[in-house]
Structure 1
Amino acid sequence: MEKINVSAIMTVKNGSRYLESSLSSIFSQTYPPQEIVVVNDGSDDDTWEVLEKLRCTAPIPITTVNTEGIGRSKALNLAVNHARHPWLANIDADDKWLPKKLEQQAVAVSLFPEAEVVVTESHIVYGEEAGNLTDEGVFSVTPMGRESFYVRNPINHSSIIFSRNFLEQVGGYDETLVRQVDIDLWIRALKKGYIFYRVDLPLTIKRLHDGQSFEVGNRLGYTFNSFKISLKKLWQLQAPFYYFPVPFVKFFYNNIPRGIRRWLVK
């Protein structure tokens, strides 16, 4: 397997609740990154104190950047600018990686030298829920083009690694956006003809909790913005016309209380 040098990047705002858990999952990688860059984007809780404490004892070098609150997109671009290595792996401060996550993605890069974006499947947990999650399974990789994005966003932002060249070619994160900056990046990449490669194992843990803006008095605004982005996505990716009712159905579904949605999923 050809070695790739990876910088893990993270932005956090008022995220001390899960910060140690998230960073510990990076420390536990069987194929660890060479560094971690964390941008504290104007937290007014104890995020900075927790971060500095962890930095002093971390087995991987951590670069910390403190801002007064510049917004998610600018914070992500700032993290990228402070990172030193040619591959970048994002992780949100409330998510986790399973131990073989980066290792399996490095294998995928070796098998597909043309790949500049590699993601994984994800587990979804709620709040403190953990369960017996595993990264074991049969390794396989699926290329994903624009048709994979018609119905939903199939990429958990915390699962992605991408080359610095990819980000430069696509233009980085759009600093005019305040929400859902990842799907905007995917759309621009797909329009340029990029293919996303997915490791078909759930190696990333996406955590949903009541501290997220989606659930804290802003659900309607968040889902309406998602609705608009979904319609824009279908238009820009030139999807067949029969996909266009999907955003309407998802908008109504996402405004059902979480408890009912979880019941429906089960």
Structure 2
Amino acid sequence: MDQIEISVIMTVKNGAKFLESSLSSVFYQTYSPQEVVIVNDGSDDDTWEVLKRLRRSAPFPVKLVNTQGIGRSRALNLAVSHTRHQWLANIDADDKWLPEKLEQQVAAVSLFPDAELVVTASQIVHGEGEGELNAKGVFSATPMARESFYVRNPINHSSVLFTRRFLDQVGGYDEALVRQVDIDLWVRALRKGYIFYRVNLPLTIKRLHDGQSYEVGNRLGYTFNSFKIGMKKLWQLKAPFYYFPVPFVKFIYNNIPRSIRHRLTR
């Protein structure tokens, strides 16, 4: 198959603390992307200065776009509008990739030529640690059924690699939404009949930390919004009725302080 050319997108607001870790993981991929487009969405910390410094050490072009704060969905669509290539990979500013992440996803595209969206499994890191930079196991890639979405969102937004055509046909990110814009995109794609593929190795690191929105005085609003999205998702995907209590149970659980939840899941 032809060489896949990839544009990486990132949106960031007040993410200076993790930018070096996140962008370094993009810069040192074994399958190099062609560019990175970063939208600074109204940061009032050192984000802009850090981005300019890191751009100087990048091994490929990094385009920086500055806004006064337009919101997550609009920032994502803006980032996409500045890209030049047909394959797009998102990474959140506080997450990171293992070095083989893009290489393994490109291998999955070779196995499934009809693929429009390929994700990877993820590792979870709590706090400011770096996580274990390894993914043991043998490469495999499998389709994801819509049943995978009934209980949770099985896709880490930082793990996605998708085509521009996919995004255009689904309608892009919904700019009316302020939170959890990714699951809305997946549901719309599933309803249109798209098949997602998953590389079954944890090649993306998802960071959970106290600086995230629902831990900064807005946990109740965030989790209530999750509850509404969960109910809407089940309705739109025509899930069996016995899944409908799940969003309520998750709403209760997610309002337990994160430190306690972390201990409960050890």
Which category of TM-score, normalised to the shorter sequence, fits these structures?
over 0.9
Q: 1:44 to 1:30 in 2, by over 3 A?
A: same
**1:15-164 maps to which residues of 2 (within 5 A)?**
15-164=15-164
Where 1:263 maps in the other structure, the secondary structure is helix
Q: Are residues 1:168 and 2:182 paired? A: no
- Aligned partners of 1:3, 1:119: CA distance in 2, in Å? 19
One-letter code aligned to 2:154: P
1:83-132 deviation per Cα after TM superposition (whole angstroms, max 9, x unaligned): 00000000000000000000000000010000000000000001122343
Instruction: Look up the equivalent residue of 1:123 and give its one-letter code.
Output: Q
Q: Does the 8 Å contact 1:159/1:204 carry over to 2?
A: yes
Give the Cα separation in 2 of the matches to 1:85 and 1:122.
25
Which residues of structure 1 form unaligned runs of 5+? none
SS for the counterpart of 1:214 is helix
C-alpha contact 2:126 2:209 (8 A) present in aligned 1: yes
Matched residue type, 1:86 = Q
TM-superposed CA distance for 1:2, in Å, is: 4.6
Q: Deviations over 1:2-56 (max 9, x none)?
A: 5210000000001000011100000110001100000001111110011011112
TM-score (norm 1): 0.98
Write the distance in 2 (CA, Å) between the matches of 1:213 and 1:45.
16
How far apart, CA to CA, are the structure 1 residues paired with 2:188 and 2:249?
24
CA shift for structure 1 position 199: 0.3
Number of residue pairs aligned between Structure 1 and Structure 2: 266
- TM-superposed CA distance for 1:57, in Å, is 2.0
User: Residue 131 of structure 2 contacts residue 205 of structure 2 at CA under 8 Å; is this kept in 1?
Assistant: no
Equivalent position of 1:232 in the other structure? 232
Counterpart code for 1:265: T
Q: Distance in 1 between matches of 2:170 and 2:5?
A: 21
What TM-score, normalized by structure 2, do the two folds share?
0.98
Closer, same or farther: CA 151–43 of 1 in aligned 2, 3 Å: same
Which aligned pairs between 1:188-207 and structure 2 lie closer than 5 A?
188-207=188-207
In the alignment, the residues of structure 2 paired with residue 109 and residue 214 of structure 1 have an alpha-carbon distance, to the nearest angstrom, of 35
Provide, for residues 189-219 of structure 1, a one-character-per-residue CA deviation record: whole Å limited to 9, x for no partner.
0000111100000000000111110211110
Q: What is residue 249 of structure 1 aligned with on the other side? A: 249
Same amino acid, percent of matched pairs: 77
Please report how far the alpha carbon of residue 138 of structure 1 lies from its aligned counterpart in structure 2 after TM superposition: 0.7
Give, in whole Å, the separation in 2 of the partners of 1:175 and 1:143. 28
Runs of 4+ in 1 over 6 A off after TM superposition: none
CA-atom RMSD, angstroms? 0.9
Q: Helix, strand or coil for the counterpart of 2:214?
A: coil
The answer to whether structure 1 residue 209 and structure 2 residue 209 are counterparts is yes
Q: Distance in 2 between matches of 1:5 and 1:77?
A: 19
Task: Sort the Cα spacing of 1:131 and 1:79 in 2 relative to 1 into closer, same or farther, 3 A.
Answer: closer
How far off is 1:260 after superposition? 1.4
1:144–1:196 contact (8 Å) kept in structure 2: yes
User: C-alpha distance in 2, partners of 1:189/1:173?
Assistant: 11
Whole-angstrom distance in 2 between the partners of 1:18 and 1:220: 25
